[in-house]
Chains A and B, each alone.
Chain A
Amino acid sequence: MNGICKNIPRAANQGLAGCHVCEKVSLISAVNCPRCGTHLHFRKPDSINRTIALMIAAAIMYIPANILPIMSIRELGVTTESTIVTGLIQFWEARSYPIAIVIFSASILIPLLKIFALIWLCAAAKGIVPHSAKILGKVYWITELLGRWSMVDIFVVAILVTMVQLGNYMVVTPGPGALAFAGVVILTMFAAMSFDPKLLWDQLEREAAEAESEKNTERE
């Protein structure tokens, strides 16, 4: 019963659905939104399954994204391959701590936190772990907000590949890790988009209803 709002009407219980695109509230029997034509549904379709499938794909992609080089640097005939972690270590050793922290958060921390946050959210929505919907709602909001920032490493590769074209002196070329990492970012963004936070409240409502019926049977 933690945090559930009592005696407040919920749209789905009244047969009403808010349009995801234009926010107009209409009866679900209308099938398509009368204002913008988007298909209406109470909850995002197949939300948890889709989120989990995308998360698994992202978690698998996360391994090559960190092992494979995101770029290779050919300097005076010597080629060194750079992964996300070695790039990070370079900044740390050069005592550029603020930038090392930024790269660490964007490339390692945010993707991992996103994967764990979404697993937690899915487990909570399924009723596997107890939860406060208010706090998890915030977790979801932050997850959605931060996702894009992981793309920073891909942009760094793009910029270095463009600018470091100095003939025999130094050349940077993109590596296969860049594709894998971009895949992780895009997959986690899609995973966050397909999760429906309303399911967290649905689960609380179900738990409350169960507790209520148990109480009633005890009284009888």
Chain B
Amino acid sequence: MWYRRFGAVDTTSRSNEITRKKLRTRLSILSWPKPKGGPHHAVCHFCDTLHVAEPIPEGSRVDCICCGATLFQNRSASLVRVTAFSVTALFLMLVVHSAPFISMDAGGMRTVLTLPGAAKALIDDGSLIVGCGVALFTIVTPLILSGGLVYVCGPLLFGKSAPGAKMVTRWMSRTEPWNMIEVFLLGVLVSLLKLGHLAELHFGVGFWAFAALMFCMAAAVAAIDKRELWDRLEVAGAP
């Protein structure tokens, strides 16, 4: 379907600089371009079955013919959605780290929870490794993921690839399993139930921003198929 549309704007077959520029912008609006050459194959991660990867219409999905696992999906408006959600996530991170998260009044004292504060409290109390782990899983990993997605997908919207985009994308796929903000949110809820009887708790702006951040991160990561991202990088000519 869109394969034919894309065939009409093959950038490699024309040399005129102006048309190429125009095509680049059109390329970004079109969905999932195919890199040069072919036929393109897809291998199932679970059973190693070899498939010929035909272009599919937006919003549809290809499953493995042998084991039924999802091979790839063509998300609609993928680049726009990734960029929008990851920019929002970056903004929300700023709010999460600057606004009060949860404050507690007990025994005439007030303590405030922040993400870096939680990591620092563990380190100060002698649990250096656990503290660093908490910082890594709740601050560093989400930052690498959403920052990386903005850095890679923003320029791709205009058909260009940012310098070092491939390296950044490699790092993102490495850090993705270690993003634990939704687990941290569950931890917050459990702790609130533990503390609820003992003190007065106030939810700050940071808490709501954190809940929104969780949704934005999940939406940003799910908005583009890994295969599509790499195909786009290849078509955009990333070195």
In the complex, chain B residues whose CB is within 8 Å of the CB of A157:
122, 130
Considering residues B102, B122, B169, which has the most beta carbons from chain A within 10 angstroms of its beta carbon?
B122
Question: Interface residues of A: mostly helix, strand, loop or mixed?
Answer: helix
B163 within 8 A of A: no
Q: Does B47 contact A (CB under 8 A)?
A: yes
Kindly state the interface size class of chain B when it binds its partner.
Answer: 35 or more
Residue B218 is within 8 A (CB to CB) of chain A in the complex: no
Q: Is the CB of A11 within 8 A of B48?
A: yes
Cβ contact of B45, chosen from A99, A158, A197, cutoff 8 A: A197
Name the one of A9, A17, A35, A153 contacting B230, with C-beta atoms under 8 angstroms: A35
| Residue ID in chain A nearest B114 by CB atoms | A162
Which one of B106, B178, B187, B195 contacts A158 once the chains associate, using CB atoms below 8 Å? B187
On chain A, the residues within 8 Å of B126 by CB distance are 173-174
Give the contact stretch, choosing among A20-28, A54-62, A122-130.
A20-28
B183/A11 in contact, CB under 8 A: no
* Chain A residues close to B by CB (< 8 Å): 5, 8-12, 14, 16-18, 21-25, 35-38, 42, 91, 96, 99, 102-103, 106, 133-134, 137, 140-141, 144, 148-149, 151-167, 169-170, 173-174, 178-179, 182, 186, 189, 193, 197-198, 200-202
A-B contact pairs, 30 of them (CB 8 A): A5-B49, A16-B50, A18-B42, A18-B45, A21-B170, A23-B226, A25-B40, A35-B166, A35-B234, A36-B166, A42-B48, A96-B193, A99-B190, A137-B67, A148-B180, A154-B187, A155-B191, A156-B191, A157-B122, A158-B121, A158-B122, A158-B134, A160-B195, A163-B113, A165-B111, A167-B107, A167-B109, A169-B106, A193-B177, A198-B46
